[in-house]
Structure formats: structure tokens, C-alpha cells
Amino acid sequence: MAETKKTIVRLGGSTLARFIQLVQRTSKRTYEPEDLLERLADVHPCVVACWHGQFMMVAGFRPENVKVAAMVAKHGDAELIGEAMRALDVELIRGAGAGTRRRDRGGASALRASLNALADDYSLVMTADIPPGPARVAGGGIIAIGRMSGRPIVPVAVASKHFASFDTWSRLTFNLPYSRLAFVAGDPIKVPADADADVLESKRLELETSLNAATIRAYELAGGDINRATPLEVLAAASPPAPGPVLNIYRAGTSLLRPAVPMLLNIRGRQGKEDAPRRGERLGFAGRPRPEGDVVWVHAASVGEMNAVMPLIERILSDNPRVQVLLTTGTTTSAEVAARRLPERAIHQYVPLDVPQYVARFLDHWKPTIAIFTESDIWPNLVLGTANRDIPLVLVNARMSPRSISRWRRFARVGRPLFSRFAAILTQNELIERAIKRLGAPHVITAGNLKIDSPPPHVDAAAEAALRASIGQRPVFLAASTHPGEDTIIAAAHSLMRADIEGLLTIIVPRHPERGTNLAASLGGLGLKTQLRSRSADVLPETEIYIADTIGELGTFYAISDVALVGGSLVKHGGQNPIEAIRLDACVLTGPYTYNFKDAYRSLIRDGGAVEVRSSDDIARHVTRLHADRQAAAAMRSSAQRSLDSMKGALDKTLGAIQPFLEKQRV
């Protein structure tokens, strides 16, 4: 099988090489400058840089009697290219920079081989941008080779009038025969051996600018349509694309289904998921008059997202005395919390359902100056309707799970018309930044997680005192924001611990309080004495599992707990927020599924501020240890606080990105 594959790759590579020669032989060639090949010979050996996806005809830059080596990645798709290069008498260097990937792609060995090839009088051909992108952004590796070798870097581009292109990350372009070929080279770029970080960055930008200029010029000379060869996210960032068929069908479908909305709201109302007296807000009808002056619209899906942006709302109001804030959310729980926490000059409304007519009615009334969306709550009609009115859109604390990144990548033609309409996007980490840039967003920066800069959740002093009085000296273990599938693991851990921790009380706070009754019944069926907080606030002496099926009290339960398992992490949900627990001095345990707070957990676990558990045995062992060893628990809390403090700063960065839009609107 392996031999058959090698034979197929070898035949494919030789066929590709013959095709490249056919394109060269049958096409009219133009060089700029006219003596381009002579100039390349004069600076030989050099580093020839091109954009990924535009490399097919770079062999045409080869002066006579010049040895050439090319860097080709090790992955399977590159085998065909490697065989074609061999057939064209090009020496291969296998490996590539890691770029955004963590795994080793042979970059270190490729660097050594590249320096050796240049020293042996080979010119080196390599792409400046690194898979998987972002496209048309020069990496630092090629600059490092130029500095270490002392050889010049020459930016080059080849374009043909006739070509096929594919929607890959780099917009792979396949040149066709019987065409017009244009070869363009920029001025050689020398990188000083003693270049510091600032000089290296300036040289990287110089290469990037020169490569883009050479590419534009090559397509002009060839008479080819450069837009067909430009990565779609680059085009989207320059000019947001019109919604495609999928988005148009979605918009038409949500409009046609409008008559069914009242029935849907009735069903949700009976489930306690809608606020009946304020149902009109879900249809776009305003529940309050619009205040005078500028209105900053901040949208957060639910309580977690609202807590993340509450400090941002407070800063916007304090820094802009004439501004009013409109906060929209989609859940009754968040509305209750907003009623208690919103400062003066801020009002709450339910976000309209994503139906074009409802969105238009909402925007007609509120006429926001700027729209700030939070995390990942992207609704097409809301985004497009807002952008169509020239209202600046900003996405803050942006996050995507690995599954979401993969899904958006598959449906990029849906994502590009949406994300490209945001004037600014502030992401939680660089992986998300790169993913969103690939969707055509024009201005994306990593700001960090706003939740790290958020104050501790609210603690009701009276409720805390009452709980402490009813619990007495009993040790407390808290399982916070749990999801289905986690509670039985926690109950099993309790059964293991109660033999070693006398009088142990386990408190479970389900993520969705409406699960409380069924949860009490199921755990009671396991022989555990359960109690619902909604039925009795005082903890009874015989209670083993206390189920807090109430709203807005999580901070109070963190305040009375020495150790807390933060839920959503023992099942594939991605984990809930550990920062709230740490800010209220609870030692944090987490399951293995933490991608919603990947950066925070990575830092916390590395610094000893959190512990990962995978089973009821793990939970029992660590809870027992932390209850028995107060010194270890105190050290863990201190490590967690230091770790979070090192990650602060997202609030200032986010406000810095938003403030110019507010000031621009006042001009």
C-alpha cells in the first residue's frame, strides 16, 4: 500500500512538473524589471520570498547555472509539490515553521538546512506566510533566515491571465497554459545581523508590503483578476461581502416564520423561559422611552456574559457623562440580575428575536450610537440590520470553542459577511484572533478575558450569615454550575468522602435551577439525604446534599465554601467560569473539559492555583486533602490569585478600542 502511494505521488509530481513547463513554454512572459533574472543572479545566493498559494510558477525566476533549494512542508499534501520540485531540479528542504500550531513541523531542522544551503551557494525559495494563516502576513522565520545567513531577501510574485483558484486559506492559484505570465520582483531586503526586535519587525513589515505590491503589479501586467487570487478573508476585510445564499435563505425564513413566534413564546413562557409582561420586547417593541443623547447598546446573551461586561458598562458611563447605556439580554435570569446591578443611566431590555421586522423595529426606536456584542452571541439579522444603518459594531471578549472554530471554518462563506462588518473585535486569545481574522474581520486584537478583570460576584451578607449559622462547623464542598451528567459523579464523590470528612455537606448549584426538583429526586434515589433551597433556606442537620435551585446566589455559596468544583468541565460543555470562585477564596477543582476558559485554566493549573480531576475518586482525594491540609489550601488560594492578577488588563484594552468610536460619534 505504501509503495503504491509513493508511486502515485511520484507520477503526480512528474506530471505537475511537466504541466508547469507547459505553462512556461506556451505563455508570453513579461519581467519587471526587464533585467530581473540578471539582478537575481547578482544577489545569488538569496532568499526568494513569495506568498503561499502563489508559488506554482516561481521556478521561472531561476537564472541560468544557479542552484536552487525550496522549503517544502512535511505533511502529505506537500509530497506532490516536493516530487514536482525534484523533477524541476530543485533541491528540497523538508519542514516548515510551526506558525500557530503547537506541534513540531520540522522548523528547527529546516532552519539549519536552509542556512547550510545558502552557505553552499543555493538560493532558497520559501513562502513568507505560514499555514494555517493568516494569509498575506509575513512570518518571522524568513526574516530570521535573512538575519542569520546575511543574505538578501527578494520578494517575488508571478501571475497569469488565465488561472484557476480555490478557496483554501491562502487562495491556492493554479496557472493555466496559453496565457500571459508576469514575473515581478521587489528590491532586495537586507536584515542586519545585530537587528533588535524593533528592526526585525520593521523588516517583516517591509517584506509584507513589498510582496503585496509585487503581487498587485504582477496581476496588472498579466491582465489577470487579482480578486480571484486573493484570500477571501483578505477581500472581506477590505470590503464586507454581500450575504450569500445561505444567509439570504435564513433571513427570508425567519421572516416567513414570524406568524409562529407568538406560539413559540407561549411555549417558552410556560417553561419559565420568557417574561410574559415584557414579551413585546422580544418582538422589538420598546418597553421604555429612548433617553436623550448617545445610546451605547451592549448585548450579552445571559448572566455570565452580562457579568463580564458590567465593569465595561460602568467604565463607559464614568468616562462619558453624556452617554446612556442600553443593555440587552435574552434570559429571564439575566433580567433579574440586571435589575439589581445596573448603574444609573443604564437600562435593560430583552433582545428582540432574530427576525428582520423585529430587529428593524428595535433599531428604529433605540437608534444606538454604537453596538457592542459580547463573546459569541452572533445573530445574523441583528448584525446585518445594525451594520446596514452604519452603526459601528464591536465584538468584545470574543470566544470560540474548538468546535465553533471548525464549524465557522467550514461555513466561512456564511461567517465572512457577518464578521467583516464588525469595526473592531477584541478576543480572549490569539487562537480566536486568528480564527476570526480568517473570517474577514478587518481589525482584530487579543485583549484577554474580561471576566478576569470583573469584580467578585455579589454576596448577600444576610443570606451568608444565615447559611453559616445553619451549617455551623460542618465542612462544605461546593459543586458550582453543574450540568447533566456531572451530579452523579459528585454524589459518588460525596459518598467516598463522608467516611473521612465528618459531617460533610455537599452543596450543588445546578447551572439551570429548574433542574433542582428532578436532581433532588434522582440523588435521593441513591440513598442520599437531599434538600432544595427553594423549599427551605436553612440547612437541616441531616442534609447531605443541599441543592441551591435559586437565582443569583452563586457568589454567596462560593463565600461559604473552602473547596469548589467548577462545573461544565466533567462533561463536554467546556467549563464554567473559575474566576468567580477564586476571587471569593475557594480552592478550585475542574474537570478536563475547560476550553471555554482555556487560557485561565492553563495558567491556573500551571501555577498550582487549580487542580484537574477526572473522576469521583479524584474529587474525593483532592477535597479530602485540602480539608485536612489547611496550609496546602492557603498556598493554592494564593497561587490562584497571583495567576489571575498576571492575566489582568482586558478591560483597559477593550475600553481603549471602544472609546475612539464614542468620540468619533460626538464630532
d(CA 220, CA 233): 21
Nearest to 229, CA basis, from 177, 163, 291, 183: 163
Cα separation of the two ends of the chain: 69
Count CB atoms within 10 A of the CB of residue 327: 25
Spatial CB neighbours of 283, under 8 Å, sequence gap ≥ 6: 261, 352, 353, 358, 361
Q: Which residues sit opposite 541 in a β-bridge?
A: none
Q: Which residues sit opposite 122 in a β-bridge?
A: 67
Half-sphere exposure of 26 (CA within 13 A, CB side): 13
- Residue 499 parent element (H or E): none
d(CA 63, CA 127): 19
Q: Which grid coordinates are listed for 321?
A: 457623562
Q: Are 483 and 511 spatial neighbours (Cβ–Cβ below 8 Å)?
A: yes
Q: Which grid coordinates are listed for 466?
A: 444565615
d(CA 533, CA 539): 8
Spatial CB neighbours of 533, under 8 Å, sequence gap ≥ 6: 516, 546, 547, 548, 549, 550, 553
Catalytic residue flag (residue 305): yes
Q: Which residues of 110-137 are buried (b: 16+ CB within 10 A; e: fewer)?
A: bbebbbebbeeebbbbbbbbbbbbbbbb
**289 exposure class (CB count in 10 Å sphere: 0-12, 13-18, 19+):** exposed
Residue with cell 442537620: 541
Please tell me whether the peptide bond between 231 and the residue prior to it is cis, using omega within 30 degrees of 0. Answer: no
Count CB atoms within 10 A of the CB of residue 226: 15
SS3 at position 262 = helix
Nearest to 382, CA basis, from 393, 484, 18, 63: 393
d(CA 520, CA 658): 46
Residue with cell 542569520: 148
Catalytic residue among 206, 233, 274, 305: 305
- Active-site residues, by number, are 305
